[in-house]
Amino acid sequence: MHSDLKSFGFSFFQEQHRLENQIEMEKIARVISDSHEIYLLQTNSSVCRGTMTGKMRFNAENRRDLPAVGDWVVISKPDAHSAVIEEVFPRRTSLCRSAVLAKSTSTQADVQIIAANVDLVFVVIAVDRDFSINRIDRYLALILESGALPAVLLNKCDLTDEDTWKSQQNLLYKRHPGVEVIATSLVSGLGLDLLKSAVLPAQTCCFVGSSGVGKSSLINYFAGEELITTSEISEANLRGRHTTTSRHLHLLPSGMLLLDTPGMREIAMSDASSGVGEAFAFIEEIALKCRFTDCRHVDEPGCAVIEAIEQGELDYETLNSYKKLLRESARFEKKINEKRRTDRAFGKMAREVLKVKKQLKGC
């Protein structure tokens, strides 16, 4: 199997940064897996374990500043088997979700990077038990915000009749006309050739979705072997235990670069208002014709969106999902801004304490 960085997706974007900053090729690696801040790194010639420098950890204002799977990083190698991450290359795309826990206070707002520098993200849905249009809206908004291209895989089509998955597919085409929706089944083979043709070599593709929908099984299928452990949906996964527990980027012999992620129970919005706008571009286009530029599309006179609903060109459900996601993004943005202010105030205080300590030492 090739293991040079180009097959791992090193492209013009990274090369430009490398040249501008005069980074030697030997010092570059891609993060192919992370588990509690222990990273697996693919270098030009081998795979090694890596950690980040203390300075990087200390300077990180939030989790966005830490390395994530898919990142290109600058490393130093104290020995042949380990590496230290010194710097992260600018990300071309970064798929994030809110890491705000339901019960957390506003100061705990943070983002979690699901994957960096991904080109194409497949939202995997199991048609028999997992289809929720509002959850798909949410995924699409976050993917579009990330800069990657989204697609939906309606998997396990063998478990429902054709009418069921076709109506899910049509609903998605109507709601998100620009998004590819591929119906697949690993049992009947449906859609697998189409899926294969959607994945280009050296393009990084990521699979996201709930636990048990078949993300790892799809990657195994393309690998042609049991690369990753998968499991029957058991009591354990129904209670929320996932078969895949860490993110891992796999380079398959065919040249496919596929990133497996653990199932997500909750996909909370981060600051993604432009992604929401992109996912619902048709609503934003109609809204351009509203009389007031700050129209909330509730009961304002001259609201083109309400008019579109009355004319049957748009349904309430879709408008509600759009408004809900925008509200959630705005709430998150507010929280993260508050967090930044608190962190800055804390940083200022810490610096002042250090200054006083130094002065005292000098006495």
Residue among 105, 98, 146, 102 nearest 259 (CA): 146
Nearer to Zn ion, 227 or 295 (CB): 295
Nearer to ligand GTP, 62 or 231 (CB): 231
Q: Show contacts with ligand GTP in window 176-205 (CB under 6 A).
A: 185-187
> Which stretch in 75-83, 95-103, 210-218, 298-306 sits in contact with ligand GTP by CB under 6 A?
210-218
We find the least distance from the C-beta atom of residue 109 to ligand GTP, in angstroms, to be 26
> Which stretch in 3-11, 132-140, 232-240, 295-303 sits in contact with ligand GTP by CB under 6 A?
232-240
Chain-centre distance for alpha carbon 135: 14
CA distance linking residue 264 with residue 139, whole number of Å = 11
| 160 belongs to the binding site for ligand GTP (CB under 6 A) | no
Query: Looking at 50, 150, 263, 275, which residue binds ligand GTP (CB under 6 A)?
Result: 263
**Residues near Zn ion (CB under 5 A):** 290, 295, 297, 303, 305
**Which two three-digit tokens encode residue 158?**
């063998």
Residue among 115, 117, 62 nearest 89 (CA): 117
Which residue is at the shortest CB distance from Mg ion?
A: 244
Return the half-sphere exposure (C-beta side, CA atoms, 13 A cut-off) of residue 154. Answer: 28
Nearer to ligand GTP, 233 or 309 (CB): 233
Query: Looking at 33, 93, 184, 244, which residue binds Mg ion (CB under 5 A)?
Result: 244
CA triplet 211, 216, 217: central angle to 5 degrees?
Answer: 105
State the binding partner of 152 from ligand GTP, Mg ion, Zn ion, none, CB within 5 to 8 A by kind.
none
| 214 belongs to the binding site for ligand GTP (CB under 6 A) | yes
Query: Looking at 33, 216, 273, 321, which residue binds ligand GTP (CB under 6 A)?
Result: 216
State the binding partner of 67 from ligand GTP, Mg ion, Zn ion, none, CB within 5 to 8 A by kind.
none
Helix (H, G, I), strand (E, B) or coil at 75: strand
User: DSSP readout, 127-190?
Assistant: TTT---HHHHHHHHHHHHHHTSEEEEEEE-GGGS-HHHHHHHHHHHHHH-TTSEEEE--TTT-T
| 155 belongs to the binding site for Mg ion (CB under 5 A) | no
Beta-carbon contacts of residue 243 (< 8 Å; ≥ 6 apart): 211, 212, 216, 229, 230, 231, 237, 263
- Positions that interact with Mg ion (CB under 5 A): 215-216, 243-244
